[in-house]
Amino acid sequence: MRYKSSWASAQAAQAPSDDETFVGLTGAQIFRELMHKHNVDTIFGHPGGASLPIFDHALGKDEFTLILARHEQGAGHMAEGYARATGKPGIVLVSSGAGATNTITPIMDAFMDGTPLIVFTDQVTASSKGTDDARECDIIGISSACTKWNVMVKDVGELPRRINEAFEIATSGRPGPVLVDLPKDVSAAVLEGIPDSMPRISLRQKQKANLFHKTRLGSPETPDFAEIADMINRAERPVIYAGQGIMQSPLDGPGVLKELAEKANIPVTTSLQGLGAFDERSPLSLNMLGMHGSAYANYAMQSADLILALGARFDDRVTMRIDAFAPEARRAEREGRGGIVHFEISPKNMHKVIQPTVSVLGDVAENLANVVPHVQHRAREPWLEQISEWKSKHPFLLESVDTDEKVLKPQQVLAELDRQLLEIQARDPQQEVFFTTGVGSHQMHAAQFITWTKPRQWISSGGAGTMGFGLPAAIGAKVARPNAIVIDVDGDASYSMTGMELITAVEFKVGVKILLLQNDFQGMVKNWQDLFYDQRYSGTAMFNPRFDALAGSMRAKGLYCRAQSELAASIEAFLAYDEGPVLLEVFVDKDTLVLPMVPGGLPLHEMVLEPPPHGQQT
In SS3 terms, 406-451 reads as CCCCHHHHHHHHHHHHHHHHHHCCCCCEEEEECCCHHHHHHHHHCC
- Average pLDDT estimate for 292-317: 97
Q: Which of 18-27, 63-72, 593-602 shows the lowest per-residue confidence on average (mean pLDDT)?
A: 18-27
Contact 295, 609 (CB under 8 A): yes
On whether both 175 and 280 belong to a single domain, the answer is no
Q: Flag whether 447 is in a domain.
A: yes
Q: Which of 169-173, 289-293, 578-582 shows the lowest per-residue confidence on average (mean pLDDT)?
A: 169-173
Question: Under DSSP, is residue 147 helix (H, G, I), strand (E, B) or coil?
Answer: coil
Q: Flag whether 595 is in a domain.
A: no
Looking at residue 102, the DSSP 8-state letter turns out to be: T
Q: What are the strands, taking DSSP E only, across 438-576? A: 458-459, 485-491, 513-518, 557-561
Work out the pLDDT band at 404, boundaries 50, 70, 90: low
pLDDT at 53: 83
pLDDT digits (tens, 9 = 90+) for 90-103: 999 999 999 999 99
On whether both 252 and 341 belong to a single domain, the answer is yes
pTM over 0.75: yes
Share above pLDDT 90 across residues of the chain, in percent, rounded to a whole number: 80
- Average pLDDT estimate for 151-158: 94
On whether both 418 and 379 belong to a single domain, the answer is no
Q: Flag whether 212 is in a domain.
A: no
Work out the pLDDT band at 417, boundaries 50, 70, 90: very high
Contact 116, 168 (CB under 8 A): no
Cβ neighbors of 126 (< 8 A, separation 6 or more) are 154, 183, 185, 186
Q: State how far the Cα of 424 lies from the Cα of 431, in Å rounded to an integer.
A: 8
Work out the pLDDT band at 365, boundaries 50, 70, 90: very high
pLDDT at 220: 36
Question: Under DSSP, is residue 344 helix (H, G, I), strand (E, B) or coil?
Answer: strand
Q: How far is CA 367 from CA 217, 226, 568, in A?
A: 8, 12, 46
Of 172, 1, 178, nearest to 86 by C-alpha is 1
pLDDT at 51: 81
pLDDT at 192: 92
On whether both 270 and 417 belong to a single domain, the answer is no
Cβ neighbors of 112 (< 8 A, separation 6 or more) are 462, 463, 464
Q: Flag whether 525 is in a domain.
A: yes
Domain extent at residue 546: 410-587
Q: Flag whether 114 is in a domain.
A: yes
Beta bridge partners of 489: 437, 515
On whether both 564 and 444 belong to a single domain, the answer is yes
pLDDT at 617: 60
Residue 308's domain is classified under what CATH number? Answer: 3.40.50.1220
Distance from CA of residue 553 to its chain's centroid? Answer: 31
Of 9, 80, 119, 11, nearest to 466 by C-alpha is 80
Contact 302, 603 (CB under 8 A): yes
- Amino acid making up residue 423: E
Question: Under DSSP, is residue 43 helix (H, G, I), strand (E, B) or coil?
Answer: strand
Work out the pLDDT band at 50, boundaries 50, 70, 90: confident
Q: How far is CA 614 from CA 161, 360, 531, 540, 611, in A?
A: 63, 49, 10, 19, 8
Contact 241, 310 (CB under 8 A): yes
Task: Assign 3-class secondary structure to 211-260.
Answer: HHCCCCCCCCCCHHHHHHHHHHHHCCCEEEEECHHHHCCCCCHHHHHHHH
On whether both 251 and 186 belong to a single domain, the answer is no
Choosing from 152, 172, 193, the residue where a domain stops is: 193
- Amino acid making up residue 87: G
pLDDT at 614: 64
Choosing from 370, 394, 418, the residue where a domain stops is: 394
On whether both 477 and 530 belong to a single domain, the answer is yes
Residue 467's domain is classified under what CATH number? Answer: 3.40.50.970
- Average pLDDT estimate for 164-185: 94
- Rounded to 10 deg, the angle between the 441-449 and 523-532 helix axes is 100
- Average pLDDT estimate for 324-329: 98
Choosing from 193, 213, 247, the residue where a domain stops is: 193
On whether both 334 and 478 belong to a single domain, the answer is no
pLDDT at 212: 46
Of 559, 554, 553, nearest to 575 by C-alpha is 559
Who has greater pLDDT, 4 or 118?
Answer: 118
pLDDT digits (tens, 9 = 90+) for 429-458: 999 999 999 999 999 999 999 999 999 999
What is the average pLDDT score of the chain?
90
Cα end-to-end distance, the chain, whole Å:
43
Q: Is the pLDDT of residue 15 over 50?
A: no
**Burial of residue 509 (number of CB atoms within 10 Å: 0-12, 13-18, 19+):** exposed
- Average pLDDT estimate for 369-386: 96
Task: Assign 3-class secondary structure to 270-325.
Answer: ECCCCCCCCCCCCCCEEEECCCCCCHHHHHHHHHCCEEEEECCCCCHHHHCCHHHC
Helix (H) or strand (E) holding 339: strand 339-344
Contact 128, 156 (CB under 8 A): no
Q: Flag whether 296 is in a domain.
A: yes
On whether both 378 and 421 belong to a single domain, the answer is no
Who has greater pLDDT, 343 or 132?
Answer: 343
Q: Is the pLDDT of residue 125 over 70?
A: yes
pLDDT digits (tens, 9 = 90+) for 406-416: 679 999 999 99
Pairing of strands 149-152, 90-94: unpaired
pLDDT digits (tens, 9 = 90+) for 524-580: 999 999 999 999 999 999 999 999 999 999 999 999 999 999 999 999 999 999 999
On whether both 430 and 548 belong to a single domain, the answer is yes
On whether both 348 and 428 belong to a single domain, the answer is no
Of 90, 87, 92, 115, nearest to 103 by C-alpha is 92
pLDDT digits (tens, 9 = 90+) for 213-257: 444 443 333 448 999 999 999 999 999 999 999 999 889 999 999
On whether both 509 and 569 belong to a single domain, the answer is yes
Phi then psi for residue 484, to 5 deg, are -85, 155
Q: Flag whether 154 is in a domain.
A: yes
Of 11, 10, 23, 75, nearest to 46 by C-alpha is 75
Q: Is the pLDDT of residue 48 over 90?
A: no
The count of structural domains within the chain is: 3
CA pseudo-torsion sign 328, 333, 337, 340:
positive
pLDDT at 406: 65
Q: Report angle CA 101, 107, 113 to the nearest 5 degrees.
A: 160
Work out the pLDDT band at 588, boundaries 50, 70, 90: very high
Q: Flag whether 617 is in a domain.
A: no
Q: State how far the Cα of 200 lies from the Cα of 149, in Å rounded to an integer.
A: 13
